[in-house]
Amino acid sequence: MAKTADRYFKVDPWSVIEEGFDPAYSRVSESVFSLANETMGIRGCFDEGGSMDSLRGAYVNGVYDLEELPRSYRGIIDHTHFMIPAADWLMTKIRLDGEKLDLGRVRFRDFRRELNMRTGTLTRQFVWEAASGKELRLSFLRFTDMVHRERAYQRITLEALNFTGEIAVSSGLSFDTVHEGYRRCFWQETYAETEADRIMLQARTTRSGQEVFAGAILDMPGGFIAEKDGKAVHGRGTIRLEQGKPCTVEKRVVLLFNGNGGESLRQQGKNALAECGRISAEEALAAQRSYWEAYWQISDIRIEASGAETEEAAEAEQQGIHFCSFQLAQTYNGGSTRHNIGAKGMTGEAYNGHAFWDTEACCLPFYLFTRPEAAKNLLLFRYNTLPMALERAKMLDCKGACYPIATLNGDEACSLWQHASLQLQPGTAVAYGIWHYVHLTGDDGFLWRYGAEMLLQIARFLASRAARGGLTGKYGFYGVMGPDEFHMMVNNNAYTNYMGKRTLEYAARILQRMRAEQPEAWATLAEKTALGPEEPDTWMNMAEEMYIPCAENGLIEQHDGFFDLPHTEINDVPVSDFPLYEHWSYDRIYRTDMIKQPDVLMILYLYNSSFSREAKRVNYEYYEPRTIHESSLSPAIHSVLAAELDRMEDAVRFFGHATRLDLDNYNRNTREGLHVTSIAMAWANIVYGFAGLRSDGDMLRFAPRIPDRWKRLSFSLVCRGRVIRVRMEKAGTMFSLAEGAPVSIRVYDREYCLGTEELTVPCMI
Amino acid sequence: MAKTADRYFKVDPWSVIEEGFDPAYSRVSESVFSLANETMGIRGCFDEGGSMDSLRGAYVNGVYDLEELPRSYRGIIDHTHFMIPAADWLMTKIRLDGEKLDLGRVRFRDFRRELNMRTGTLTRQFVWEAASGKELRLSFLRFTDMVHRERAYQRITLEALNFTGEIAVSSGLSFDTVHEGYRRCFWQETYAETEADRIMLQARTTRSGQEVFAGAILDMPGGFIAEKDGKAVHGRGTIRLEQGKPCTVEKRVVLLFNGNGGESLRQQGKNALAECGRISAEEALAAQRSYWEAYWQISDIRIEASGAETEEAAEAEQQGIHFCSFQLAQTYNGGSTRHNIGAKGMTGEAYNGHAFWDTEACCLPFYLFTRPEAAKNLLLFRYNTLPMALERAKMLDCKGACYPIATLNGDEACSLWQHASLQLQPGTAVAYGIWHYVHLTGDDGFLWRYGAEMLLQIARFLASRAARGGLTGKYGFYGVMGPDEFHMMVNNNAYTNYMGKRTLEYAARILQRMRAEQPEAWATLAEKTALGPEEPDTWMNMAEEMYIPCAENGLIEQHDGFFDLPHTEINDVPVSDFPLYEHWSYDRIYRTDMIKQPDVLMILYLYNSSFSREAKRVNYEYYEPRTIHESSLSPAIHSVLAAELDRMEDAVRFFGHATRLDLDNYNRNTREGLHVTSIAMAWANIVYGFAGLRSDGDMLRFAPRIPDRWKRLSFSLVCRGRVIRVRMEKAGTMFSLAEGAPVSIRVYDREYCLGTEELTVPCMI
């Protein structure tokens, strides 16, 4: 694997630390130092701005605008939507004797920036050496409030080190925010107001007509004068600094977004701001600390090195896994059924804030085992957007529901037809997610009320899209792009066929069960969807006759003709060729046996217990050397399978990549934002990989394999009201129940009852 | 075949006649009544404009502008170029007592429009019944001068039928012409001048910086006042009409386009206009008549019906083939090596005036056998644009030269990457064209000076694009789109592989021969192109090891996996679904065994003598029922093969479609312009189809098969200084030499020497 780590940040288990500022890493740092609280997100950019390379991005979840696309063929979307930067609430300007604070230009020392993952705060300090000789220590603190999700805080502390005098500070809110790709502002101001201690603004997006309220209570020593400047409002003040006496400027911010807009939003915003004013920033910070403390109680994964020589590596991995867990929880925590998980969360504008099928295929297990109600809400997002998926299927001359490959609001937003029209994995991933959720939670209420309808429409879509092969005589999907996006317009992609088969089967079974167990609900659903009495049987029949191109030894051909593709020796691809999409002619990517990410292996990952160890070995050995991992989801899935196959060297190597993907900028594009969904795979890498969890059987199964360099690995899992703690060591693994009733689990190949006593299972591998 | 004729025009062997004006056919008529003289073209729109549906288009060959495209992946073009409407030289306004002549609004009778293919003129008459009760007969005549290609003429005759009085006429030139797709004018005026009897204008395109001079000598009874109006100049006059006395307004036009622009173009334009003024329109018209008379001497194809009951059909076919020949000769006649043949010539803006690989694959034979120097000039166009093809190959990470799939100036202009990057047929078609030209003319001078260099670079491109299959171990082209554009990103497309094989072979052989016969020229070429000594051998080896997927019975699989594609019964596709690109979801087109146009059959057409009759039968029987003919080139190729296979019913049916494609609007899109390149295939349909000409052997071979409904079919062929006249009748075929030395020909399977005596060969089929 040609990709390598590019380590820049200091390693610490609970913090990401930057000591000294390297402008070359400016955007990488901005991404890594991102904060969010599910309803808003902000990149780690400097409060005071500056002339360094920067993507200044403050986002509100669910806020987007629209753009028309050139008219093209039928089934190809004619407009798209994308996340836009919303209110910039950090906006600060600082001038000392007319010299503007700009770390791209001024002299400074002792720069330190730290993201503290135990408190969810970002701090920054440095000493500004002004041209006049005056020295000023500045400290910045910010956080997005995890308790009151509409709130955010900013604190700036100024300390004159060698002088007493005045400094000009302005702090404000601005909708004059520019989308980097489109190079324009999408906001029209609809309201602005100031009071003695607060400033308020409201603005509407140009085409989507969404409205956001932004308000801030400004606490500035000596007060401020409010000034309007375009689509921004600033509070401008002059602060008298006494040498050696720190002095703070504080901003308590409220960002409110809802569908109503106008007057009503304004009033809600004012109320929310008043509410916010009732507690101090310090009190909010204390609540924030408690929140994260509780979070880590459940979600912490602890790694301990086996000895001095592996300590550094283990600590880096510990930091990596904390960072992944932290960023994932910031991005989505189950607070809403109207949002999904953008591939880059709210940490950048690449991928336009869109969510992909990664949500169900990769992120869902993290939530299922830490916060099941969040998993449910993610599935309800798909239920809420079912009407758009029905429309999309019609555009494609199909029936049922076709879920989008990229979306913020449920509409297909991917302007590349080869992805939007050929990738059928969003639908099968939703079906898989429903199955996994119901399987683990037993939430049949969800199944009958929401799940069955989605399954029905997804199955209907698949049935209308499948066709019988002219030679095989079996069903298959023709003209598709599987998970491996380096091959398109292929036939009988094994992943698509297999997932289609399982989805059709599952949908048919569920509807048959529903008819028997819930006749009334079934009748209502059948009427609503005009379900033909023969439809589930047809699906079952199609599933039985689905073509799966599997050789006798278990080797599955990725798609028809894959084995004949010209070979590319992936180790011969020079590092300078990455990312391939930028350096290779577009068509060249598609005509070799090099694959972007697991495709056949993805089947073995998702339906693990349906395949023999030998089949896994054969397929791993064939596909792993052909995989270039241009998808950030790829290494973790390989790591999980490698661990299962006792290829611990591979497993550890892929894990390092997965868990520090952004911290070490493996893919050389962290500057664009964090790989939020692949971050979820780092969690799965440990739990499914090293602990060997399998959740597709009748009970949870573990097969712990601890890497040599770790002494201990511990984590917790939430499942059906229980909290199971797992502590893996060289000699064996300890299981205990922190909460809930006794439960049967399988470890390696034996069944145990986990009760009040700690259970120790010796290592068997 | 679901497509049917929509007959609107009156049938006449030498004219296309419209009696009465149906606004629903307005644009179809405009296309059909197009005139051109290779350097300029004009749609058959009304001189006076009007409110009816219309695409007002006057074009100058080679005049285009540029447009940037959204930035995309490497190898995908970032700007395109397209033909734009140039100077509107018809522009006329007529008012009678304040009522404006507009056939979309006024009352009129006795409307008749006629394209006379013996004189190359378009005339139109009608009687205007003004609201005042006044009646005015108007007659319009126009032609684009085939002798002096920079000239065009317009004559308007006005006759007051029931009154004496004044009429206001204005006649002018305008660059205020709007491209329909882009909805804007691409011209900036650079010069305007008027003299007593003439008006002159010059304008420059916005981005390509091309400049066109337009001048007109206006002959208006009573004179005119010149007026400037935006980017137009008009001569405005008032004409006194005496009842019953016709009165004419005449405009002699010069359009000049060259690379210099500015002052020098202006002076050339003024000189050319002065030169044009030296002869009257009547004299120019006489010269035009002589030109077409001479043309038909060589290029006429005569069809005579076998009896009264087939007369109507035969006459329609006669009109069709005259129309095809006429339009082709208007569009390209060999006058330039800087122009190619746009798929729609200069008859509309669809396809942007671009030339495709149709030129070499379909049009070249027409020129080879009627005007060989035109064929040479078409190949020199490719030589002149070789530098752009070399650049394009680099963009695609390949070596050598990649000819564009769509172009006006040699640059790739197709913004759809799936065509521009995956279709390799332009290069192999150029190589085929070189072979065919040299084979038929023996022009080795061309070969050594131009052909060898093109062949070398085309072969080099193919060698860098081919790869060895992982299973076959043979060479093939992966990730391509063959002639059948309903399948893309396929592997081992038989056409691409076979054409690649033959091209590599031919290039290697020619370079080996050149080294032996023309050592100096070879050395120069080898140095210029850095030809590796082993390259031709490598190509020969690749050609030998090229994978051609052919079954024992001769059935060739169109591409890997074609036989397994789900079947579509083409007769079940409702007529309302055509064109499929508009009515079917884009991806749906690509996943069945329905094909757009011949692909395997195209091989059998181009390399006819390399395949057995049995192979042709097997492939025809397999592919014909799967072909939907969404390409206008398709029916004629099927007709040729059907004739060879003695399926005369098929042959005649396909011929009807091919020869009257636009006259009967078979594809329902003639409104966008004529299918100029497929028009060439109508000629081939007769000569290669019914006369059974084959030109890929050591001598010309004929296998005449006259359709039942024809009594006689006669035509001439030019070949190596000879003019061979062929007269096919039921009993046999007569060959005679109108010019040149005796020559050996093969008829059916016997060889004959054709000398001064007429040769009669009895029908043998």
Cβ–Cβ below 8 Å for B564 and A488? no
Torsion of CA B518, B521, B527, B529, to 10 degrees: -100
A53 within some domain: yes
| Helical packing angle, A452-465 and A372-384, nearest 10° | 50
pLDDT-above-90 percentage for chain A: 92
In this structure, of A164-178, B257-271, B272-286, the range with the lowest mean pLDDT score is B257-271
Cβ–Cβ below 8 Å for B565 and A478? yes
pLDDT-derived band at B298 (thresholds 50, 70, 90) equals confident
Q: Name the residue facing A470 among B565, B586, B587 (closest C-beta).
A: B565
**CA of residue B314 relative to chain centroid, distance:** 24
Say which CATH number the domain at B394 has. 1.50.10.10
Residues B697-719 pLDDT 10s = 899 999 999 999 999 999 999 99
Cα–Cα distance measured from residue B363 to residue B325, given in angstroms and rounded to the nearest whole number: 11
Chain B positions in Cβ-Cβ contact with residue A74 (cut-off 8 Å): 581-586
Cα–Cα distance measured from residue A194 to residue A202, given in angstroms and rounded to the nearest whole number: 12
- Residues listed for chain B: 765
pTM assigned to the model:
0.94
B706 within some domain: no
Residue A435 sits in the same domain as residue A509: yes
A719 within some domain: no
The answer to whether A582 contacts chain B (CB < 8 Å) is yes
Cα–Cα distance measured from residue B426 to residue B432, given in angstroms and rounded to the nearest whole number: 10
Extract the runs of DSSP E, i.e. beta strands, from A696-741: 701-702, 710-719, 722-729, 732-739
Neighbours of B655 (CB within 10 A): 27
Residues A642-654 pLDDT 10s = 999 999 999 999 9
According to the model, what pLDDT value does residue A671 have?
A: 94
Cβ–Cβ below 8 Å for A561 and B491? yes
Residue A421 sits in the same domain as residue A512: yes
Cα–Cα distance measured from residue A482 to residue B730, given in angstroms and rounded to the nearest whole number: 59
Shortest alpha-carbon distance between residue B460 and chain A (Å):
17
The answer to whether A394 contacts chain B (CB < 8 Å) is no
pLDDT-derived band at B263 (thresholds 50, 70, 90) equals confident
pLDDT at A489 over 90: yes
Q: Which of B412, B485, B557, B672 is catalytic?
A: B485
Chain B positions in Cβ-Cβ contact with residue A584 (cut-off 8 Å): 74, 397
Cα–Cα distance measured from residue A736 to residue B401, given in angstroms and rounded to the nearest whole number: 69
Q: Name the residue facing B470 among A421, A585, A593 (closest C-beta).
A: A593
According to the model, what pLDDT value does residue A631 have?
A: 87
Q: In chain B, how many domains are there?
A: 2
pLDDT-derived band at B259 (thresholds 50, 70, 90) equals low
Mind telling me the catalytic residues of A? 485
Residue A244 sits in the same domain as residue A143: yes
Chain B positions in Cβ-Cβ contact with residue A563 (cut-off 8 Å): 470-471
Q: How many CB pairs under 8 A join A and B?
A: 129
Instruction: Please name every residue paired with B114 in a beta bridge, in sequence order, or none if there are none.
Output: B17, B123
Buried b (16+ CB within 10 A) or exposed e, B142-170: bbbbbebbbbbbbbbbbbbeebeeebebb
The answer to whether B491 contacts chain A (CB < 8 Å) is yes
According to the model, what pLDDT value does residue A2 have?
A: 57
Shortest alpha-carbon distance between residue A175 and chain B (Å):
27
Q: What letter would DSSP give residue A8?
A: -
A556 within some domain: no
Cα–Cα distance measured from residue A407 to residue A425, given in angstroms and rounded to the nearest whole number: 14
Residues A422-442 pLDDT 10s = 999 999 999 999 999 999 999
According to the model, what pLDDT value does residue A23 have?
A: 95
A348 within some domain: yes
Residues A372-428 pLDDT 10s = 999 999 999 999 999 999 999 999 999 999 999 999 999 999 999 999 999 999 999
Cβ–Cβ below 8 Å for B583 and A74? yes
According to the model, what pLDDT value does residue A1 have?
A: 46
Cβ–Cβ below 8 Å for A591 and B468? no
Task: Supply A79's token pair.
Answer: 């407009």
Find out whether B435 and B503 touch, Cβ atoms under 8 Å: no
Cβ–Cβ below 8 Å for A470 and B75? no
The answer to whether A429 contacts chain B (CB < 8 Å) is no
Mutation pick from A564, A573, A626 vs chain B, by most beta carbons of B within 10 Å, is A564
The answer to whether A563 contacts chain B (CB < 8 Å) is yes
Cβ–Cβ below 8 Å for B467 and A397? no
Residue A166 sits in the same domain as residue A271: yes
Those of residues 62-81 in B touching chain A at CB distance below 8 A are 72-76
Chain B positions in Cβ-Cβ contact with residue A582 (cut-off 8 Å): 73-74
Domain range spanning residue A364? 341-549
Residue A346 sits in the same domain as residue A292: no
According to the model, what pLDDT value does residue A259 have?
A: 62
For Cα atoms A374, A378, A384, give the angle at the middle one, nearest 5 degrees. 135
Residue in B closest to A74 by C-alpha: B585
Cβ–Cβ below 8 Å for B396 and A472? no
Cβ–Cβ below 8 Å for A396 and B588? yes
Q: Name the residue facing B590 among A397, A489, A492 (closest C-beta).
A: A489
According to the model, what pLDDT value does residue B643 have?
A: 97
The answer to whether B472 contacts chain A (CB < 8 Å) is yes
A560 within some domain: no
Cα–Cα distance measured from residue A211 to residue A258, given in angstroms and rounded to the nearest whole number: 7
Shortest alpha-carbon distance between residue A345 and chain B (Å):
24
Q: Under DSSP, is residue A446 helix (H, G, I), strand (E, B) or coil?
A: helix
Residue A496 sits in the same domain as residue A428: yes
Residue A153 sits in the same domain as residue A82: yes
Q: What letter would DSSP give residue A694?
A: B
The answer to whether A734 contacts chain B (CB < 8 Å) is no
pLDDT at B261 over 80: no
Which DSSP string do the residues of B268-335 spell out, in sequence order? HHHHHHHHHTTS-HHHHHHHHHHHHHHHHHHH--EEEESSHHHHHHHHHHHHHHHHHHHHHHHH--S-
A290 within some domain: yes
pLDDT-above-70 percentage for chain B: 99
Residue B153 sits in the same domain as residue B256: yes
- Residues listed for chain A: 765
Residue B250 sits in the same domain as residue B374: no
The answer to whether A107 contacts chain B (CB < 8 Å) is no
Domain finish residue from A242, A267, A296: A296
Domain finish residue from B503, B526, B548: B548
Residue A77 sits in the same domain as residue A185: yes
**Residues in contact with B6: Cβ distance below 8 Å, sequence separation at least 6, in sequence order:** B664, B665, B666, B668
Higher pLDDT, A579 or B719: B719
Shortest alpha-carbon distance between residue B268 and chain A (Å):
41
Those of residues 351-390 in B touching chain A at CB distance below 8 A are none
The answer to whether B182 contacts chain A (CB < 8 Å) is no
According to the model, what pLDDT value does residue A667 have?
A: 82
According to the model, what pLDDT value does residue B667 have?
A: 82
Q: What is the rounded average pLDDT of the residues A442-463?
A: 98
The answer to whether A184 contacts chain B (CB < 8 Å) is no
Residue A55 sits in the same domain as residue A192: yes
Residue B290 sits in the same domain as residue B357: no
Residues A327-364 pLDDT 10s = 999 999 998 899 999 999 999 999 999 999 999 999 99
| Helical packing angle, A494-517 and A452-465, nearest 10° | 140
According to the model, what pLDDT value does residue A136 have?
A: 98
Say which CATH number the domain at B83 has. 2.70.98.40
According to the model, what pLDDT value does residue A258 have?
A: 77
B384 within some domain: yes
Q: Name the residue facing A471 among B468, B564, B586 (closest C-beta).
A: B564
Chain A positions in Cβ-Cβ contact with residue B395 (cut-off 8 Å): 585
Chain B positions in Cβ-Cβ contact with residue A471 (cut-off 8 Å): 563-564
Shortest alpha-carbon distance between residue A613 and chain B (Å):
26
Shortest alpha-carbon distance between residue A640 and chain B (Å):
29
The sign of the torsion formed by the CA atoms of B27, B28, B32, B38 equals positive
In this structure, of A263-267, A565-569, B19-23, the range with the lowest mean pLDDT score is A263-267
pLDDT at B1 over 70: no
Chain A positions in Cβ-Cβ contact with residue B592 (cut-off 8 Å): 467, 478
Residues A246-287 pLDDT 10s = 999 999 999 999 766 777 999 999 999 999 999 999 999 999
Q: Name the residue facing A467 among B75, B566, B584 (closest C-beta).
A: B566
Q: What is the rounded average pLDDT of the residues A698-712?
A: 95
Cβ–Cβ below 8 Å for B566 and A468? yes
Mutation pick from B68, B586, B595 vs chain A, by most beta carbons of A within 10 Å, is B586
Chain B positions in Cβ-Cβ contact with residue A567 (cut-off 8 Å): 470
Domain finish residue from B500, B524, B548: B548
Residues B457-482 pLDDT 10s = 999 999 999 999 999 999 999 999 99
Task: Write down the mean pLDDT value for chain A.
Answer: 95
